[in-house]
A and B are shown apart, each in its own frame.
Chain A
């Protein structure tokens, strides 16, 4: 019943970033900003601002993710005094409403009437699949900071595309590896019944060496999991692996907790309990284990200042979506500085991006030949912190078997 498909509604203009808070934050972090600006090129004056397009899901239930991406990207620009790589930038924001067709419209607008040089953001894979081709074929650089569907990491890879996140398989390969590392012999696997859910399970299986007792697919946006949880309980597995993005994970984790299972049967998840859903779960999720590319406590100077700055500006802890988008801004900053603001020479700019000469909040970061990052994954636990439940990286995950996307990509 498409009439009721209201996942995406609303007006993107209703988002107003916490401007006063951010202004005060800037005063306090001038030192940090200056430090990073020093890495860039000498400031060029009286330049026309460089136009950067931002496409993200800003409304509907997925809106929190796009908002995180946008806020972090803008934070980086604020920190650099309104510039990236020493060049003044303006960001034109578009809401794709989680609809591929709206995303294509937004991309067309950015390409045709705004003539942007770079587009960044992109929250969900279905939108990415729709806009990847139009943007890269227009020879405009696309820096994805979240969605990483497998095709664009493999045979449909493009010299104009870079990702600062992961390819979708990697999330769940890390999950499978984590379950293997933790020594669970019998796993129970659950996912939402759509393409990403099935991909999640196949990614998980690639690195999980134990036995899968059962795999269960539930309806997308199913509100109640009591029946499935009762089945699960009867099957008595060593641990459970789930993939329930967004509100689905809130439903599932609440009900898992209420069935008295959290803490009894370990719960491992990926892209389910994260910075966007934890505020709705709080201490209900304490004890859950996740595999994630990012956690606020990752110990490096870049992340420390990022978490402090983001928390101060927006009064919330940055999620992985924010972190990846902040990385995208810092990557652009480094590359634009390298070419001294001259984006006309695409080969030089591409080489500058490929060098990834920036400090990632995720730790060591380099690009594979398919322009997807080879960067850290972590076991991230939900723990009771000083201000309630928080995500805490416990240990890095070393994925043993990867889907070999770089080999499928013609770029060398």
Chain B
């Protein structure tokens, strides 16, 4: 049984865990913004994936224009903030008081709008973006070469997570955000400008999603529609983590990232050791792609509020 052996070797397990971690932090960047908007504004924002896509396109263009990855990253943040605020101001502000179905329909429309916009501006083919020169190599890690750029993604993601922690738990704005997540109307009654807080949250979410787009650009295909697959994963993450909870989003991202990655690699190999080769080949990939949804179902059954729910008054 050659395949299971290689699949289960320790070094490979470590590498796959790193891969899972990397997917996890990318998901966290997406989930952080989405969970806040969902939890505090009680607003279902399907267009969050479009922010990710626009971030990737902006980053690819800025990178091409300036020739510097860092420069692109620096310019991207204000651009995404502006885009996020503009979308909130133009389209979403009117929807806060409407029910969820209206919000779903409107933000679904935004997805179509942004996909089409990207196609008009950047063309129907995938767009080019490469790994910055100084990170293009692979690092020797336990005898297996691991791409340096992916280590950067992990580092950047953890850094942002730390930043979020400080912002949410150690700053005045964070206090208001936490208060808003717990009891929105009370915060408004106490004289806090909820409208401004909402805009700010939305802008922050757009910046984080854009950052995810920037980081994903060099390893993935930058193209219209790239936001939807990751949006689905992000939804799973915030449901598992508990809607409105940054801490939950962080842990759930890592759990989903690792479960998805290990499931994809270990499950087919394990099935092969118990099933016939041909049936294992059919069942393996199918089951692997279901893993995180199964996980979500189990979490919902046991803890319907998610693993780290926000304590509501």
Residues in chain A within 8 A of chain B (CB atoms)? 1, 3-7, 9-11, 14, 59-61, 63-64, 67, 193, 213-219, 221, 223-224, 226-228, 230-231, 233-235, 246-248, 250-251, 254-255, 258-260, 276-277, 279-282, 284
Contact = CB atoms under 8 A, between A and B. Distances in A.
B196 interface: no
Interface in B210-259: 216, 218-226, 228-232
Interface stretch (B36-44, B77-85, B130-138, B296-304): B130-138
Nearest to B289: A219
Contacts, number: 154
9 contacts: A219-B285, A219-B289, A228-B265, A230-B16, A230-B265, A233-B144, A250-B220, A259-B138, A259-B147
B138 A260 contact: yes
The majority secondary structure among interface residues of chain B is: helix
Contact of A59 (B15, B119, B137, B231): B119
Contact of B232 (A4, A64, A218): A4
Interface stretch (B107-115, B165-173, B176-184, B305-313): B107-115
A187 to B, nearest CB: 15
Contacts of B22: 226
A224 B220 contact: yes
B21 to A, nearest CB: 11
Contact of A258 (B12, B147, B232, B284): B147
- Please indicate which of the listed interface residues A60, A218, A260 has the most CB atoms of chain B within 10 Å of its own CB: A260
A218 B288 CA distance: 9
A251 B219 contact: yes
A345 B232 CA distance: 54
Given A224-B219, A259-B147, A64 B130 contact: no
B281 interface: yes
Contact of A215 (B16, B219, B281): B281
B274 interface: no
A223 B220 contact: yes
A227 B147 CA distance: 12
Given A59-B124, A251-B219, 7 more contacts: A9-B225, A10-B116, A218-B264, A224-B23, A227-B20, A254-B131, A281-B128
Nearest to A248: B221
A193 B128 contact: no
Contacts of A64: 123-125
A84 to B, nearest CB: 27
A1 B232 contact: yes
Given A9-B115, A64-B125, A282 B130 contact: yes
Contacts of A59: 119, 124
Contact of B149 (A227, A248, A258, A282): A258
Contacts of B7: 231, 234
Contacts of B225: 6-7, 9, 60-61
B67 to A, nearest CB: 15
Nearest to B18: A226
Contacts of B268: 216
B3 A258 contact: no
Contacts of A284: 130
